[in-house]
Amino acid sequence: MTRVFQVAENQLMLLQNGVAYFPQLCADIDAAQHSIYLETYILAADETGRMVSDALCRAAGRGVVVRVLLDGYGSAELPLSWLDELLAAKVEVQWFRREISPFTLRRSRMRRLLRLHRKLAVMDGEVAFVAGINIINDVSSRESFSFPRLDYAVRVQGVAVGEIHATMRHLWGVVTWANFRQRGKEIRHFVLERAKPAATPEISLLLRDNLRHRRDIEGAYLKAIAEAQREIIIANAYFLPGRAFRQALIQAAQRGIRVVLLLQGRVEYRLQHYATHALYDQLLAAGIEIYEYQASFLHAKVAVVDGLWATVGSSNIDPFSLLLAREANLEVRDAGFAGELRASLLAAIADDAVRVGDGYGVSGNWIGKLVAHISYGIVRLLIGLLGYGRSI
C-alpha cells in the first residue's frame, strides 16, 4: 500500500499500520533540512519510540529546528531520561496540559480532559503526515496475538501541506504563550499565526477544538452520510456517536444505502467497549451491518463513502473526541485514494472480522446487555458533568 495518488496539486500516500508508517516518517525526518514539527498523543518508551526519537535527535544534531508537542496525559509515562535525551540533543519539547487530577469531577478539573489527540508531522513545510497512529509499538505486549493494531496514516506533499504546517505552528505558539503565562512571565509582541485554508477543494484539513472548530469533523461526516448514494463504510476504534450521528446512519440505511461499521472486537478499554454494545440493537434493527475486528486491536479512525469520499485521522466517533479533544483528520475527495482505503477495509472485514448477528443483545444475552447499558449510562454521566449530556 505505497501507491502515490495525484489529487489536484498534491501527492497522497496511504500508509497502513506502523510497519509502513514509522519507516516512512523516520526517512522524512532524516531528509529534513530546516524544520520539523511533530504532535502526538503518545510517545512511548519502546523500540518504536526509540526509532523516532533517535531520528529527531539526528535531525537536531545537524541543525534542523525540531519541535515536539506531547500530550500531558497520553505521554505521561515517558521517562524523564528520554526527555533529557531529547533536550540535550537540542530538540524543543513542550507539553499540552501536563497536569491532570483523576480524583475530582468538578467541571474546572474536568476541563483537563481536553487532550491533544492529534497525530501530525511536517518536515520543511513540504512533507506532512496526518495519522491516527501513536508513536508506540503497534503490536501490543499485553495480548497474545502478534498482529499490529489496524490503523492508517496519510503522507502528503503539495499545497495542502501549507495549511497543516500553519496549524501546527499556531498551536505551538499557543502552548508557548500558555506556558510562559503560567510561569508569570510577560510576553510582548507575540503574534499567533492562523492556519490558512488549502487551495484545493479535493483535500481539506478537518480540525476539532473548543473554539472555531467545535463541530467541523462531525459536520463533515454528517454531510458525507447525507449525500451518500450507495455505500458508507466506517472503521472506528471507539464508536459512541450522538443522537444526530446515529439518526443520520439510520436514515441512510432506510433509503437503501449499505451502511457498514467495522468496530473494536477486542476489549482494550472496558467502559468504551461495552458502552458501544448498548447501541447495537438500534443499529442492527435499521439494517446496518456491524463487524467486530478480531485479529488485533482496532485503532483506525477512517471512513469511505461511495468509494469517492474518504477521511483518515485521529478522531474517534465518540464524545471524548467529538466534544473534548483536539483532533485532526484529512478529508479527501478522490476515487483512487478512497478506493484503496475501501479495499483495505473490505479485506480486513473479510479476513479478520466477525459479523454481529441480528440476535445480539436479546434475552439470551441479558447479562451482556445489562453491562452494556450500565457502561453507556456511566459515559453519559461523565459527559453530562461537562455539560454535554444532550449530545449523546
Q: What is the pLDDT of residues 147-157, one digit of tens each?
A: 889 999 999 99
Task: State which of 147, 182, 217 marks the end of a domain.
Answer: 182
Q: Please state, rounded to an integer, the average pLDDT across all residues of the chain.
A: 86
**Active-site residue (options: 28, 71, 216, 306):** 306
Q: What pLDDT, in 10s, does the model give residues 13-32?
A: 999 999 999 999 999 999 99
Indicate if the pLDDT at residue 267 is higher than 90. Answer: no
Q: Are residue 326 and residue 216 in the same domain, yes or no?
A: yes
- Do 158 and 210 share a domain, yes or no? no
Buried b (16+ CB within 10 A) or exposed e, 233-266: bbbbbbbbbbeebbebbbebbeeebebbbbbbbb
Residue 187 lies in a domain: no
Is residue 179 pLDDT above 70, yes or no? yes
Residue 252 domain-assigned (yes or no): yes
In eight-state DSSP terms, residue 192 is: P
Model confidence band, residue 392 (pLDDT cutoffs 50, 70, 90): low
136 and 279 both lie in a single domain:
no
Q: What is the pLDDT of residue 363?
A: 43
> Given 165, 273, 277, 301, which residue is catalytic?
301
pTM over 0.85: yes
**Is 132 found in the same domain as 254?**
no
Residue 265 belongs to a domain: yes
Question: Where residue 274 falls among pLDDT bands split at 50, 70, 90?
Answer: confident
pLDDT in tens, 352-387: 999 998 554 444 566 667 677 676 666 666 665 555
* pLDDT > 90 fraction of the chain, expressed in percent and rounded: 67
**Number of domains present in the structure of the chain:** 2
184: pLDDT strictly greater than 50: no
Among candidate residues 131, 153, 182, the one where a domain is terminated: 182
Cα-Cα-Cα-Cα dihedral of 100, 112, 80, 74, to 10°? 110
Q: Is 351 a known active-site residue?
A: no
Region 83-89: mean pLDDT is: 97
**Is residue 196 included in any domain, yes or no?**
no
Grid cell 468509494 in the structure block, residue: 307
What is the rounded average pLDDT of the residues 313-323? 87
In this structure, the chain runs to a length of: 392
Per the CB < 8 A criterion, the answer to whether 260 and 284 are in contact is no
Residues 114 and 320: their CA atoms lie apart, in Å, by 8
Predicted local confidence at residue 17, as pLDDT: 96
Residue from 28, 119, 334, 352 carrying the catalytic annotation: 119
Whether the predicted pLDDT of 193 surpasses 70: no
301 a catalytic residue: yes
Q: Is the residue at 76 inside a domain?
A: yes
Print the domain residue range for 21.
4-182
For residues 81-91, give the mean pLDDT: 97
Query: What percent of the chain clears pLDDT 70, i.e. is strictly above it?
Result: 80
pLDDT at 99 over 70: no
Tell me whether residue 165 is one of the annotated catalytic residues: no
* Residue 334 identity: D
**Nearby residues of 1 by Cβ (< 8 Å), 6 or more positions away:** 14, 15, 16, 20, 340, 344
First to last CA, the chain: 36
Same domain for 358 and 264: yes
Considering the domain boundaries, does residue 152 fall inside one?
yes
Asked whether residue 231 is assigned to any structural domain, the reply reads yes
Q: Are residues 235 and 384 in the same domain?
A: yes
pLDDT per residue as tens digits for the range 285-309: 999 999 999 999 999 999 999 999 9
9 lies in a domain?
A: yes
185 is catalytic: no
What distance in Å separates the CA atoms of residue 356 and residue 280, rounded to the nearest whole number? 9
**Integer Cα distance of 50 and 86 in angstroms:** 11
One domain for residues 56 and 159: yes
pLDDT band per the 50, 70, 90 thresholds, residue 275: confident
- Confidence label for 322 from pLDDT (cuts 50, 70 and 90): confident
231 with 376, same domain? yes
Q: What is the pLDDT of residue 334?
A: 97
**Pick from 113, 147, 182: which residue ends a domain?**
182
Please check whether residues 171 and 255 belong to one and the same domain. no
Q: Please say if the pLDDT value at position 186 is more than 60.
A: no
Does 190 score more than 50 pLDDT? no
> Do 167 and 209 share a domain, yes or no?
no
> Among residues 299, 318, 334, 352, which one is catalytic?
299
Q: Looking at residue 189, what is its pLDDT?
A: 35
Q: Is 358 a catalytic site residue?
A: no
pLDDT at 191 over 60: no
**Is the pLDDT assigned to residue 219 strictly greater than 90?**
yes
Using the predicted structure, report yes or no on whether residue 107 has a pLDDT greater than 60: no
pLDDT of residue 260: 98
Q: What is the pLDDT of residue 356?
A: 93
C-alpha 128/C-alpha 13 separation (Å) is 11
Domain of 160, CATH number, reads: 3.30.870.10
How far CA 93 is from CA of 20, 90, 135, in Å, comes to: 26, 9, 15
Does 124 participate in catalysis according to the annotation?
Answer: yes
pLDDT digits over 119-142, tens only? 999 999 999 999 999 999 987 665
**Is the same domain home to 95 and 127?**
yes
Q: What is the pLDDT of residue 177?
A: 86
Indicate whether 155 and 219 sit together in one domain: no
